[in-house]
């Protein structure tokens, strides 16, 4: 990928090259962005806040998958199963009288362990074979959820407690939003920092050329399995946040379509881009809303009656997901993050764009 840095932005030391924020402007932009988001509950209604919360935990899960797919070059078609495992684990921990704030991280760790187990084949497999192995993991875990009543409550599902910290209950959209925002910030900063360490660079090296990476002393099996563990950890935390938002977890939510949606977030956002995971998540969460709005716009008209739009809105949403994946792959394979960089570069270089 070519660098989009404008002329004059030279890095003259390793420290400058590995900094989180390349320029002072980008640092301020990030802080202001978070501050503006803090004001969201004052402006938006409950429905919009619900969407923002969904974007938040989806972005965490998508970021985990991006570390696996975008940074390490592995493939996983079973991310929703890990997400679900996190949701159930957190509910299970809360039932054993562990406070919710701890249970969320505990669920992340438990999911990471499961991720390591299913990542073990990843040490040997690549590409297609790995894709198929994780597909099997998806079905096996789904079957496990449906069967293990002590873990998931079986077909009936599992009820859990709202988030509580220092005697405060975060059980409404307006308050829970801040919890999700805090987790999003922590997880994104952690990921950005991970990519600056030796381990993070090792993951990228495994992706770029695994034989060269091995020659340079990087233990392939270790890092491939590790990236599965990290991805599962992120999925677990995201799943736990989901569980304490809805306060009810049931098996059907974590099917293969949901896994594919996570993959779509990563691809649409941009493989190997941390900010892209956020954009992809926002896109995929808002896409059904756009489809719904479009159908509402046409409702009552001749088109609506001929095509039965209102009754089949869920199929239209699924079709939109499929179409979005294909169109992005054909027309913008580097994702929204790349498009965003291009737009910024265009304005920076405005009169002299060549």
Partner 1 sequence: MDATLLFQLVLNGLIVGALYGVVAMSFVLIYKASQVVNFAQGEFLLVGAWVCWWLLTTWQLPFWAGFLVTLAFMTAFGVLLQVIVLRPLIGEPVISVIMATVGLSIFFQALMKWMFGVFAQPFPPIFAAERMRVLGLEVQTVYLASLVVSALIMLGFWWFFTYSKHGLAMRATAFDQQVAQSLGVSVPRVFAMSWAISAVVSAVAGVVVGVVNGVSSALSFYGIKVFPAVILGGLDSIVGAVLGGLIVGVLENLAQYVDAEWLNWGNMYQIAPFYALILILLIKPYGLFGTRNIERV
What is the closest distance, in whole angstroms, from the C-beta atom of residue 66 to partner 1 in the complex? Answer: 12
Shortest CB 260 distance to partner 1, Å: 6
Question: Among residues 59 and 137, whose Cβ is nearest to partner 1?
Answer: 137
Cα 213 to chain centroid distance, Å, stands at: 27
Closest separation between CB of residue 32 and partner 1, Å? 34
Q: Which is nearer to partner 1, 22 or 322 (CB)?
A: 322
**Min. distance of Cβ 148 from partner 1 in angstroms?**
10
Q: Which is nearer to partner 1, 107 or 137 (CB)?
A: 137
Give the nearest distance from C-beta 211 to partner 1 in angstroms. Answer: 5
Nearer to partner 1, 74 or 111 (CB): 74
User: Could you identify the residue written with the tokens 């249970």?
Assistant: 103
Q: Which residues bind partner 1 (CB under 8 A)?
A: 69, 75, 77, 121, 124-125, 127-129, 131-133, 135-137, 139-140, 143, 146-147, 211, 215, 257, 260, 263-264, 267, 271, 308, 312, 315-319, 321-326, 329-330, 333
Q: Cβ 194 to partner 1, closest distance in Å? A: 21
Query: 107 vs 336, which CB is nearer to partner 1?
Result: 336
Question: Considering beta carbons, is residue 39 or 128 the nearer one to partner 1?
Answer: 128
Angle between helices 274-298 and 173-194 (to 10 degrees): 140
**What is the smallest separation between the CB atom of 141 and partner 1, expressed in angstroms?**
10
Nearest alpha carbon to residue 323 among 250, 264, 249, 247:
264
Closer residue to partner 1 in complex, CB, 155/165? 155
> Among residues 180 and 291, whose Cβ is nearest to partner 1?
291
Burial bucket for residue 277 (CB in 10 Å: 0-12, 13-18, 19+):
buried
Residue 263 C-beta: closest distance to partner 1, Å = 6
């Amino acid at each position: 990928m070519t660098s989009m840095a404008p002329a004059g932005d030279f890095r003259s030391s390793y420290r400058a090259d590995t900094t989180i924020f390349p320029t002072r402007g980008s640092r301020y932009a990030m802080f202001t962005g978070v501050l503006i988001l803090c004001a969201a509950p004052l402006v938006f209604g409950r429905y919009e806040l619900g969407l923002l919360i969904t974007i938040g935990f989806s972005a965490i899960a998508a970021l985990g998958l991006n570390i696996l797919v975008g940074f390490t070059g592995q493939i996983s078609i079973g991310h929703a199963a890990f997400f679900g495992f996190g949701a159930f684990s957190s509910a299970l921990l809360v039932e054993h009288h562990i406070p919710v704030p701890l249970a969320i991280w505990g669920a992340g760790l438990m999911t990471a362990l499961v991720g390591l187990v299913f990542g073990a084949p990843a040490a040997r497999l690549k590409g297609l074979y790995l894709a198929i192995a994780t597909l099997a993991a998806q079905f096996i875990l789904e079957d496990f959820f449906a069967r293990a009543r002590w873990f998931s409550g079986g077909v009936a599902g599992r009820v859990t407690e709202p988030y509580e910290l220092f005697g405060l209950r975060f059980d409404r959209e307006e308050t829970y939003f801040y919890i999700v925002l805090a987790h999003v910030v922590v997880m994104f900063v952690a990921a950005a920092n991970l990519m600056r360490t030796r381990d993070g660079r090792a993951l990228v090296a495994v992706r770029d050329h695994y034989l060269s990476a091995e020659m340079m002393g990087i233990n392939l099996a270790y890092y491939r399995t590790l990236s599965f563990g990290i991805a599962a950890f992120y999925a677990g935390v995201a799943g736990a946040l989901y569980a304490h938002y809805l306060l009810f977890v049931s098996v059907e939510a974590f099917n293969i379509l949901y896994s594919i949606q996570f993959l779509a977030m990563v691809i649409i956002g941009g493989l190997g881009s941390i900010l892209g995971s956020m954009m992809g998540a926002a896109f995929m969460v808002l896409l059904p809303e756009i489809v719904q709005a479009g159908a509402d716009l046409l409702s009552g008209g001749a088109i609506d009656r001929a095509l039965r739009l209102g009754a089949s809105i869920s199929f239209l949403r699924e079709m939109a997901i499929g179409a979005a994946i294909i169109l992005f792959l054909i027309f913008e394979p580097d994702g929204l993050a790349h498009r965003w960089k291009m737009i910024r570069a265009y304005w920076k270089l405005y009169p002299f764009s060549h």
